Amino acid sequence: MGERSRQLFEEAARYFPGGVNSPVRAFRAVGGEPFFVARASGSRVTDVDGRSYIDYVASWGPMILGHAHPRVVAAIQKAAETGTSYGAPTELETRLARLIQAAFPSLERMRFVSSGTEACMSALRVARGFTGRSGIVKFEGGYHGHADSLLVKAGSGGLTFGVPDSLGVPADLARHTLTLPYNDVEAVRTLFAARGADLAGVIVEPVAGNMGVVPPRPGFLEGLREITRRHGALLILDEVITGFRVARGGAQELYGVTPDLTCLGKIVGGGLPVGVYGGRAEIMEKVAPLGAIYQAGTLSGNPLAMAAGVETLTLLQAPGAYADLEAKAERLERGLAEAAAASRLPTRVNRVGSMLTAFFTVGPVDDYASVRRADAGLYGSFFRAMLDRGVSLAPSQFEAAFVSLAHTTEDLEATTTAARESLAVAAASR
């Protein structure tokens, strides 16, 4: 970390817990202290000490076009000139909804909110209100925002009710959330056989992106769809990360599974704060003002976020955009795998579309247990060596790297070269 970043971090620690406004930014999972960003453009971020990095954090996913895309910036500026927030409807909301529904036909009705956390929290309330049931199923390693009922881990057995995974979460609330192993459809089948009448729905990241990139096993999502439908529960796909990322229509397009409710975020706002939840019309028409399920928000449908989203999703309609993303991500995956093979470090690179993670472990990584076997200390060494060579990765073994349309062939080649050198450094640190 440069001197100016160090000074800013010391000052920030006087105002914010850990010096940051979101925990992973503190770099505690990888060692060291964070650099402070001064600006970003295209595939790069530049810190306050003047160092430039090839960026694969991409603001945790939304910068699919790259940073500060000129058309997105112009759209935000134009919107700001007429006001930044009204607390009243605008045409921009409908324009963005039209673009979303064209890519996600399952969102027959939707509601804009201000974050992915808010979207998932609201979707659970809708599922409970629509079904009249309280229980929610989630999966180990899945993260759906920091709402109380979702900060839950499994109890003593697969069929026990959850216990809080954070201080401040009432046990009485947490007990309504049940946690099962990701990618284990038989565990879901067993749970529903025992408690199906109490369960309002299943929420799942169709491609896990908050324990690193872990794709669904063949039949897992299809099994969730069949089980929930048979028991009268709702299937909620949390596509906050995967929506418009792994395909234009998200994981539900990629895997051919239609949920009852979907949560979106990240790319939908073009980098500005936004979330979306929605689904079947008969379900969403239970939401106020049409129904008795209440949800509201002063900043919902904020015109700046709507303008950025409209421009971003319009640009993603360009012919070949997703083929270009796929080719770039595949090239990065191949480069990382070749560098790992040369280093002889046990490494597994998981990729779906333009999101990927390199795990330092032996064998496949397809559930939470195999994720936890990865060597996080080795990743920390690799991360720091990559940063020294001008490549910014997620500061955690258990997060994704994101490729953007702004990444160039030169960026990808430089990243592969940096990986080869950094893996040698990491190997020497063992």
Q: Which positions are annotated as active-site residues?
A: 143, 238, 266
383 in Cβ contact with 395 (< 8 Å): yes
Task: Quote the CA–CA distance of 378 and 217 in Å, as a whole number.
Answer: 27
Position 338, amino acid: E
Phi, psi of 154 (to 5 degrees): -70, 155
- The tokens describing 293, both together, are 């399920």
Burial of residue 69 (number of CB atoms within 10 Å: 0-12, 13-18, 19+): buried
- The tokens describing 202, both together, are 């299943």
User: Residue 255 in 3-state DSSP?
Assistant: helix
Cis peptide before 289 (omega within 30 of 0): yes
Regarding beta strands 261-265 and 234-238, do their DSSP bridges make them parallel or antiparallel, or are they unpaired? parallel
Q: Which residues pair with 357 in a beta bridge?
A: 350
Regarding beta strands 199-204 and 234-238, do their DSSP bridges make them parallel or antiparallel, or are they unpaired? parallel
- Please name the residue ranges forming H helices in 13-106: 70-81, 91-103
User: Between the CA atoms of 209, 214, 216 and 218, what dihedral angle is there, to the nearest 10 degrees?
Assistant: 160
List the Cα angle 103/105/107 in 5-degree steps. 105
Helix, strand, coil in percent for the chain, rounding step 5: 40, 15, 40
Phi, psi of 52 (to 5 degrees): -105, 140
40 in Cβ contact with 46 (< 8 Å): yes
The position carrying tokens 């349309």 is 405
Quickly list DSSP for 232-248. TPEEEEE-TTTBTTTBT
Taking phi over 0 as left and psi of -120 to 50 as alpha, with beta for the rest, 365 belongs to: beta
Task: Quote the CA–CA distance of 194 and 261 in Å, as a whole number.
Answer: 24
Nearest to 407 by CA among 352, 336, 353, 327: 327
Task: Quote the CA–CA distance of 165 and 18 in Å, as a whole number.
Answer: 20
Phi, psi of 138 (to 5 degrees): -130, 180
Please state, as a whole number, how many other Cβ atoms lie within 10 Å of the Cβ of residue 323.
Answer: 9
